[in-house]
């Protein structure tokens, strides 16, 4: 109390009190041990008087909200008379009529402030009809669960966000009955600029904002000291209470030099932040294609699958590749897939955020200390402004060069031009389903994928055609910038995605300075446009709804069996197995259309789900739409799990591996590679078709084959 401040004398519930001038009735009562209930006001906050539960009788016509009414000389205040208690009872009952009971906070910890007041007032079932908000639940944030129906508009979250943390994300939206709390311009919380500091959740008196723990998992290890965590720059401005609530989701790990931290292909749910020490990131799987060799000249021909290097099985589209994308701030050199990470580096983001397999093996190069975390804590870090600035700075300084040069068409960029881009590119983050650019809208940027998968789809007659799933190292929006036309497809985040945005003006400068890059991009764009034109022409000749009913629209190439000719001898299945070391890529079952069976073999789908989630981007679609598996496949099985038709198999191969017990020594081992129907491209016709003794098996283009069939059926019907 300031001794020089003028004192005000008043009476509260018969007790004479003296307080400095300017003190509110609420604070005057609290400092003298006289309780007044409230919901919207906390100690040391600027009062707002929105809940009105703190009303008191000051001898005037209406009751006053004690949190905003200042004490006056000679004032007589009554806080607990029957009429005052009755008014508070009605106010709490009105608030409870809009509140789901028990709310999430009450269920988890039993400390919902509104429900506690209702219990004290003996309110069990409000007399008033309950309203509901159409917004309901918002589960877009990985760290905080939002229940708009439990919100009582006390504004404590807004003051926590704006006045305490200065983040300015939360505000009110709407008026009257439609009033509510909004994030940014009324966005879902996960898609807003919220940094997940947790202050709003800590401030909330109800279950409107609650901690969202990682579901079904808990990291083993001792709880970290919260004070030590808050001392790390990456957790600057994060609520200590919020970290306490998530203490089970982050642990400290120590590794000795030579220890394996994680292995490629293993499934996980955590990311690692390197506090000190160094680690090596590498691929132990052989860099080799699965190649079928032999001849198909005889009926009982025997083929053999084996691993072949790029030199033995060179693909024109791959010849310029210099790196392999992984779930880390660096890519691995193709010819020597190993890299080093140091303090401040984060790896395993895709595994943690989207539950994809590990993309590489990580081994401690020196003794090191790491923080291992689940996705709710990682989300906190990624939204933290300090940490985001660190990631952005690290990317620009260390990763931008290799990222740009890892894209074959951009490999000729010079160091001075990359320096020109260094402070002009922008790292953008998108949540699952969020649109990055929309078909038909003007193009103003060129994008490179840094993390996650971007879905590229076109609106076509009969539905959506997925052109590609773009992984780290891919790019998009170049065609529209080259041609000066609107976006030709809609690009959206399939999972948690980060892209590097290059402004359109810098893209044009790049094209002017590097004619070779312009030429390559224009050639690729012309090829894409021609194939798009051909596909549109073919689709226009087909009765689309009949294809959609059977799912045939999804395929680019089909193996069909004419059931009028087929005798179910299974020669096709056995021939496929014989051609691939006993691992059949064909099952004589599937969809039926007219008298044809669409056998289960690779369909080269229009929406190739097998491409989703490959941690190293080794399964992709060629410009011809053929889905192929690259030689750096690590055998994690993600593509096989995703294929809805069971058309991808895991083929084991004997290889030499590092002996973990004896560093530097090699040992015999087995590695698996993903394989799918390769159309027996090296032979005159597929083995299954060749082996069929009744001419029942055929490989066809579905749009051409079934389109002609449907036309003939239509003509036959119209002629009757």
The pLDDT score that the predictor gives to residue 706 is 66
Both tokens of 127, joined, read 């007399």
The pLDDT score that the predictor gives to residue 541 is 47
Residue 672: CB atoms within 10 Å: 18
Strand ranges inside 63-120, DSSP E: 64-65, 76-77
What average pLDDT does range 459-476 have in this prediction? 76
Both tokens of 168, joined, read 């300015």
Domain that holds residue 691: 551-718
Where is average pLDDT lowest: 113-122, 193-202, 640-649? Answer: 640-649
The pLDDT score that the predictor gives to residue 639 is 84
Q: Using 50, 70 and 90 to split pLDDT, how confident is the model at 299?
A: very low
> How far is the CA of 558 from the CAs of 145, 262, 605, in angstroms?
46, 39, 10
CA–CA gap between residue 488 and residue 92 (Å, rounded): 55
Both tokens of 110, joined, read 């039993």
Task: Report whether pLDDT(682) > 80.
Answer: no
Name the DSSP class of 485.
-
On whether residue 93 sits in a domain, the answer given is yes
* Highest-confidence segment of 174-178, 190-194, 431-435, 515-519: 515-519
Name the DSSP class of 188.
-
Mean pLDDT score of the chain: 79
**How many CA atoms lie less than 13 Å away from 404 in the CB half-sphere?**
25
The pLDDT score that the predictor gives to residue 298 is 46
Angle between helices 702-718 and 515-540 (to 10 degrees): 30
Q: Shortest CA distance to 219 belongs to which of 29, 32, 393, 378?
A: 378
Pairing of strands 697-700, 558-562: antiparallel
Helix (H) or strand (E) holding 8: strand 7-12
Residue 365: CB atoms within 10 Å: 17
The pLDDT score that the predictor gives to residue 548 is 42
The pLDDT score that the predictor gives to residue 513 is 92
Q: DSSP letters of 300-341?
A: T---EEEEE-TTTS--GGGTT--EE--SSSSPEESSS-EEEE
> How far is the CA of 720 from the CAs of 175, 202, 707, 715, in angstroms?
65, 75, 21, 9
The pLDDT score that the predictor gives to residue 267 is 83
203 contacts 157 by C-beta, under 8 angstroms: yes
On whether residue 449 sits in a domain, the answer given is no
> What is the residue whose two structure tokens read 């994300």?
169
Structural domain ending residue among the three candidates 69, 92, 120: 120
For residue 651, give the 3-state DSSP assignment: strand
295 contacts 301 by C-beta, under 8 angstroms: yes
64 contacts 10 by C-beta, under 8 angstroms: no
For 395, residues 6+ apart whose C-beta sits below 8 A from its C-beta are: 329, 403, 427, 450, 500
The pLDDT score that the predictor gives to residue 327 is 86
> What is the residue whose two structure tokens read 């409870």?
96
Both tokens of 3, joined, read 């001794």
CA–CA gap between residue 17 and residue 33 (Å, rounded): 11
The pLDDT score that the predictor gives to residue 401 is 81
3-class SS letters over 195-256: CCCCHHHHHCCCCCEEECCCCCCCCCCCCCCHHHHHCCHHHCCCCHHHHHHCHHHEEEEEEC
Task: Report whether pLDDT(313) > 80.
Answer: no
Q: Give pLDDT tens digits for 149-167.
A: 889 899 989 988 888 778 8
Task: Report whether pLDDT(544) > 60.
Answer: no
Both tokens of 334, joined, read 């193709």
Q: Using 50, 70 and 90 to split pLDDT, how confident is the model at 98?
A: confident
Task: Report whether pLDDT(296) > 60.
Answer: no
Both tokens of 99, joined, read 């509140």
Q: Shortest CA distance to 380 belongs to which of 214, 604, 198?
A: 198
What average pLDDT does range 83-93 have in this prediction? 93
On whether residue 314 sits in a domain, the answer given is no
Task: Report whether pLDDT(266) > 60.
Answer: yes
Q: Using 50, 70 and 90 to split pLDDT, how confident is the model at 129?
A: confident
CA–CA gap between residue 223 and residue 238 (Å, rounded): 17
The pLDDT score that the predictor gives to residue 83 is 94
> What is the residue whose two structure tokens read 């990291």?
219
> Who has greater pLDDT, 19 or 293?
19
What average pLDDT does range 99-118 have in this prediction? 87
CA–CA gap between residue 169 and residue 193 (Å, rounded): 6
CA–CA gap between residue 580 and residue 574 (Å, rounded): 10
What average pLDDT does range 266-295 have in this prediction? 83
The pLDDT score that the predictor gives to residue 575 is 73
150 contacts 97 by C-beta, under 8 angstroms: no
Q: Give pLDDT tens digits for 371-398.
A: 998 887 887 777 777 777 777 877 887 7
On whether residue 293 sits in a domain, the answer given is no
* Highest-confidence segment of 70-74, 171-175, 349-353, 462-466: 70-74
Question: How many domains does one find in the chain?
Answer: 2
On whether residue 643 sits in a domain, the answer given is yes
The pLDDT score that the predictor gives to residue 146 is 92
CATH code: domain of residue 34: 3.10.20.740
Q: Using 50, 70 and 90 to split pLDDT, how confident is the model at 533?
A: low
Edge-first strand listing for the sheet containing 346-347 = 250-255, 368-373, 271-276, 346-347
Task: Report whether pLDDT(717) > 70.
Answer: no
> How far is the CA of 578 from the CAs of 295, 305, 575, 656, in angstroms?
12, 10, 5, 26
What average pLDDT does range 221-231 have in this prediction? 74
The pLDDT score that the predictor gives to residue 123 is 87
The pLDDT score that the predictor gives to residue 536 is 55
Output 521-526 pairs: Cβ under 8 A, ≥24 positions apart.
521/409, 521/478, 521/482, 522/482, 524/409, 524/623, 525/478, 525/479, 525/482, 525/483
Q: Give pLDDT tens digits for 51-73.
A: 899 999 999 989 999 999 999 99
Q: Is 100 exposed, middle or buried (0-12, 13-18, 19+ CB in 10 A)?
A: middle
CA–CA gap between residue 278 and residue 364 (Å, rounded): 6
Residue 434: CB atoms within 10 Å: 16
The pLDDT score that the predictor gives to residue 679 is 56
Both tokens of 128, joined, read 């008033």
For 613, residues 6+ apart whose C-beta sits below 8 A from its C-beta are: 354, 356, 357, 453, 495, 638, 639, 642
Dmax over Cα atoms in the chain, in whole Å?
112
On whether residue 98 sits in a domain, the answer given is yes
499 contacts 447 by C-beta, under 8 angstroms: yes
**How many residues does this entry show for the chain?**
720
The pLDDT score that the predictor gives to residue 176 is 79
The pLDDT score that the predictor gives to residue 501 is 93
Structural domain ending residue among the three candidates 70, 98, 120: 120
Task: Report whether pLDDT(558) > 90.
Answer: no
Pairing of strands 445-451, 475-476: antiparallel
CA–CA gap between residue 41 and residue 35 (Å, rounded): 13
Task: Report whether pLDDT(79) > 90.
Answer: yes
The pLDDT score that the predictor gives to residue 217 is 54
Task: Report whether pLDDT(447) > 90.
Answer: yes
Structural domain ending residue among the three candidates 71, 104, 120: 120
Q: Using 50, 70 and 90 to split pLDDT, how confident is the model at 547?
A: very low
On whether residue 145 sits in a domain, the answer given is no
The pLDDT score that the predictor gives to residue 117 is 92
Percent of the chain with pLDDT over 70: 78
For 521, residues 6+ apart whose C-beta sits below 8 A from its C-beta are: 409, 478, 482, 511
CA–CA gap between residue 417 and residue 160 (Å, rounded): 44
Where is average pLDDT lowest: 115-124, 443-452, 639-648? Answer: 639-648
The pLDDT score that the predictor gives to residue 423 is 85
3-class SS letters over 15-75: EEEEEECCCEHHHHHHHCCCCCCCCCCCCCCCCCCCCCCCEEECCCCCCEECCCCECCCCC
On whether residue 60 sits in a domain, the answer given is yes
CA–CA gap between residue 110 and residue 116 (Å, rounded): 8
- Which residues in 341-360 are b (16+ Cβ under 10 Å) and which e? beebbbbbbbbbbbebbbbb
Task: Report whether pLDDT(295) > 60.
Answer: no
> What is the residue whose two structure tokens read 């609290």?
30
Q: Shortest CA distance to 580 belongs to which of 648, 640, 651?
A: 651
Radius of gyration in angstroms for the set of CA atoms belonging to the chain, rounded to a whole number: 32
């Amino acid at each position: 109390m300031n001794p020089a401040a003028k004192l005000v004398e008043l009476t509260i519930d018969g007790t004479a009190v003296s307080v400095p001038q300017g003190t509110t009735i609420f604070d005057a009562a609290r400092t003298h041990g006289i309780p007044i209930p409230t919901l919207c006001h906390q100690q040391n906050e600027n009062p707002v008087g929105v809940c009105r539960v703190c009303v008191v009788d000051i001898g005037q016509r209406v009751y006053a909200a004690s949190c905003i009414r200042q004490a006056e000389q000679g004032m007589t205040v009554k806080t607990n008379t029957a009429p005052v208690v009755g008014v508070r009872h009605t106010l709490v009952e009105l608030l409870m009529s809009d509140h789901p009971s028990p709310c999430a906070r009450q269920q988890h910890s039993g400390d919902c402030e509104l429900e506690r007041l209702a219990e004290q007032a003996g309110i069990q079932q409000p007399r008033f009809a309950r309203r509901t908000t159409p917004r309901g639940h918002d589960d877009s944030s990985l760290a905080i669960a939002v229940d708009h129906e439990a919100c009582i508009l006390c504004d404590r979250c807004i003051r926590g966000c704006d006045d305490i943390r200065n983040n300015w994300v939360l505000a009110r939206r709407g008026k009257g009955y439609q009033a509510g709390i909004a994030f940014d311009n009324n966005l879902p919380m996960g898609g807003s600029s919220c940094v997940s500091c947790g202050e709003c959740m800590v401030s909330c008196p109800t279950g409107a904002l609650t901690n969202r723990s990682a579901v079904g998992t808990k990291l083993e290890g001792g709880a970290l000291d919260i004070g030590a965590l808050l001392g790390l720059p990456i957790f600057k401005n994060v609520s200590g209470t919020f970290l306490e609530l998530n203490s089970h989701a982050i642990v400290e790990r120590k590794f000795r030099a030579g220890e394996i931290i994680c292995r490629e292909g293993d499934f996980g749910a955590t990311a690692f932040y390197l506090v000190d020490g160094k680690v090596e990131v590498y691929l132990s799987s052989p860099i080799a294609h699965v190649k079928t060799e032999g001849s198909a000249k005889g009926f009982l021909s025997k083929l053999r699958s084996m691993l072949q290097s790029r030199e033995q099985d060179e693909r024109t589209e791959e010849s310029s590749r210099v790196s392999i994308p992984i779930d880390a701030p660096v890519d691995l050199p193709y010819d020597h897939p190993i890299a080093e990470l140091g303090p401040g580096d984060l790896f395993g983001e895709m595994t943690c955020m989207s539950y994809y397999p590990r993309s590489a093996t990580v081994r401690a190069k020196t003794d090191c200390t790491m923080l291992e975390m689940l996705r709710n804590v990682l989300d906190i870090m990624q939204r933290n402004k300090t940490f985001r600035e660190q990631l952005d700075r690290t990317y620009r300084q260390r990763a931008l060069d290799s990222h740009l040069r890892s894209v074959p068409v951009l490999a000729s960029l010079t160091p001075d031009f990359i320096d020109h881009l260094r402070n002009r590119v922008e790292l953008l983050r998108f949540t699952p389903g969020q649109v990055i650019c929309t078909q038909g809208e003007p193009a103003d940027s060129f994008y490179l994928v840094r993390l996650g998968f971007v879905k590229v789809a076109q609106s076509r007659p009969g539905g959506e055609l997925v052109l590609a799933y773009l992984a780290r190292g891919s790019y998009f929006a170049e065609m529209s910038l080259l041609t000066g036309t609107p976006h030709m497809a809609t690009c959206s985040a399939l999972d948690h995605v980060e892209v590097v945005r290059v402004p359109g003006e810098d893209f044009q400068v790049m094209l002017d300075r590097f004619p070779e890059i312009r030429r390559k991009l224009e050639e690729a764009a012309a090829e894409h446009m021609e194939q798009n034109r051909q596909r549109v022409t073919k689709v226009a000749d087909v009765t689309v709804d009949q294809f959609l009913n059977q799912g045939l629209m999804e395929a680019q190439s089909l193996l069909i069996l004419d059931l009028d000719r087929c005798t179910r001898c299974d020669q096709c299945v056995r021939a496929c197995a014989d051609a691939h070391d006993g691992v059949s890529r064909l099952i004589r079952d599937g969809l039926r259309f007219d008298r044809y069976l669409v056998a289960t073999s690779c369909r080269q789908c229009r929406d190739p789900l097998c491409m989703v989630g490959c941690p190293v981007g080794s399964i992709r679609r060629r410009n011809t739409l053929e889905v192929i598996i690259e030689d750096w496949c690590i055998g994690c099985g993600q593509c096989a799990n995703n294929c809805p038709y069971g058309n991808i198999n895991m083929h084991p191969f004997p290889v030499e591996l590092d002996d973990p017990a004896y560093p530097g020594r090699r040992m015999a081992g087995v590695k698996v590679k993903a394989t799918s129907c390769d159309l027996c491209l090296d032979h005159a016709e597929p083995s299954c078709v060749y082996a069929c003794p009744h001419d029942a098996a055929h490989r066809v283009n579905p749009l051409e084959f079934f389109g002609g069939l449907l036309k003939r059926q239509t003509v036959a019907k119209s002629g009757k």
